[in-house]
Amino acid sequence: MSLIYQISILTCLIFSIILLAGLVYASIIFYQEKENRAAFRALLLALLLPPIYFLSWFYNWEIVALILSADLVLMGILFFISFGKKAQITDDIPKHQIDERDIMFARNELKVNTDRYKEYYSKNPDKLDLDNGFRKEPGLTAEKSIFYNEVAYKAGNSSFFAVEQFKNSVDGPVHHSKSDISSSELSKFLKDWSKKLGALDVGITKLENYHFYSHKGRGEEYGNPIESVHSHAIAFTVEMSQEMVAAAPQSSIVMESAQQYLEAGRIAVQLAQFLRSMGFSARAHIDGNYQLVCPLVARDAGLGEIGRMGLLMTPKEGPRVRLGVVSTDFKLRTDTRIKDNSMLDFCLQCKKCAEVCPSKSISFDDPKLVNGIKRWQINSESCFTYWCKAGTDCGRCMACCPYSHPDNLLHNFIRFGIKKSSLFRMLAVHLDDFFYGRKPKSAELPSWIPNHEKAQK
């Protein structure tokens, strides 16, 4: 037997063992993640695939072993060799600042027939009919909404209440003497401390005009132009629990969103207060109290990319995060952003969020020119109208995104392949569909949340 056949046959034995171990491991991980369909399919593959390689070794099937080994080499090339790099898929720099008054949360706060309401719709008559759509629905965490759950909604509202308490602490007096700490020392400390406080990932960027809203859209300062007084920002992510997100759009999602807004708010307020105590002007940007467009700041701080569903997608938790930002006049040491086109290329092919969106708010198309730049844009009116009907902030797109799978060895192995090779990205879309389904079902509400549908009259 020639050397090449001997190597092929030995390769088949080694690979049958690796494949069996890998698929059994995947099945256990899926089972632990309560993904029963994926666990069953991995187990089925473990019974079907490794024996093909094992039998080639066992019976010395030289030609079959050679073909199977050649397949392995091809798969290795597909997975490990970096190729298929795409040209720029989306543009990064918006041509205009966003006016906070135009975002759905600001429009939702307009009380019918007040001066603000009349002024806004006299300037934006095209938005009146669209907004009357969501005003007809029960509303977020409202009793008649589809996923009403007294306990979960009230728990979520309690977290929103707690975030609200930070309202007067986002800014404050600055200590009269400035610390002489160096930029690199302070930047490193802020990043390390943020992680100690609970942040998942942290980055620093210089602030540009497009990071700032042009005008305030909420609260007492409604309509005031926003002055960009700060030059730098620290942005961070906090993780949303997989268990709570998986049941989206049921009530656990709104509990989890509120909880992580609170976590992000707490960390941001602590960082901003610390910077002011060191003698530097600083402001926390937290839920309901923003001057900055946080996803743009976080993207430029190197934390991820903005994909098809319009949220920041991070490399390890995908969109399953919430963001916090602190701006300051201290010249922090910035991170260098390396645009990750592999994520955007994956978005081009995947389209799972568009498939599962109950309100059809996410486009199946490639990025288009919106206000002069190439990007994806969701239909925020139909998305928000669905939120008001569901009573939750939905999150079905976030729950089904392949990047949202937990940060563990199995999923990071797949993420590695996705980052490296465009051919593997194609395969990975189909693998995700095979294991989880093209339109995965929502998970059950976590068992510790009572399924309490009716409030006492």
Chain residues binding ligand SF4 by CB under 6 A are 307-309, 313, 346-347, 350-353, 357-359, 361-362, 378, 383, 386, 394-397, 401-403
In the bound complex, what is the minimum distance in angstroms from residue 448's beta carbon to ligand SF4? 24
In the bound complex, what is the minimum distance in angstroms from residue 139's beta carbon to ligand SF4? 15
User: Do 403 and 412 form a contact (C-beta atoms < 8 A)?
Assistant: no
CB nearer to ligand SF4: give 213 or 387. Answer: 387
In the bound complex, what is the minimum distance in angstroms from residue 313's beta carbon to ligand SF4? 6
In the bound complex, what is the minimum distance in angstroms from residue 23's beta carbon to ligand SF4? 24
In the bound complex, what is the minimum distance in angstroms from residue 324's beta carbon to ligand SF4? 20
User: Do 283 and 327 form a contact (C-beta atoms < 8 A)?
Assistant: yes
List, in order, residues 6 or more apart from 328 with CB less than 8 Å away: 230, 231, 232, 233, 234, 272, 275, 280, 281, 282, 283
CB nearer to ligand SF4: give 22 or 395. Answer: 395
User: Do 243 and 371 form a contact (C-beta atoms < 8 A)?
Assistant: no
CB nearer to ligand SF4: give 11 or 314. Answer: 314
- End-to-end CA gap in the chain: 84
CB nearer to ligand SF4: give 204 or 246. Answer: 246
CB nearer to ligand SF4: give 375 or 396. Answer: 396
In the bound complex, what is the minimum distance in angstroms from residue 397's beta carbon to ligand SF4? 3
In the bound complex, what is the minimum distance in angstroms from residue 52's beta carbon to ligand SF4? 31
CB nearer to ligand SF4: give 186 or 390. Answer: 390
CB nearer to ligand SF4: give 156 or 402. Answer: 402
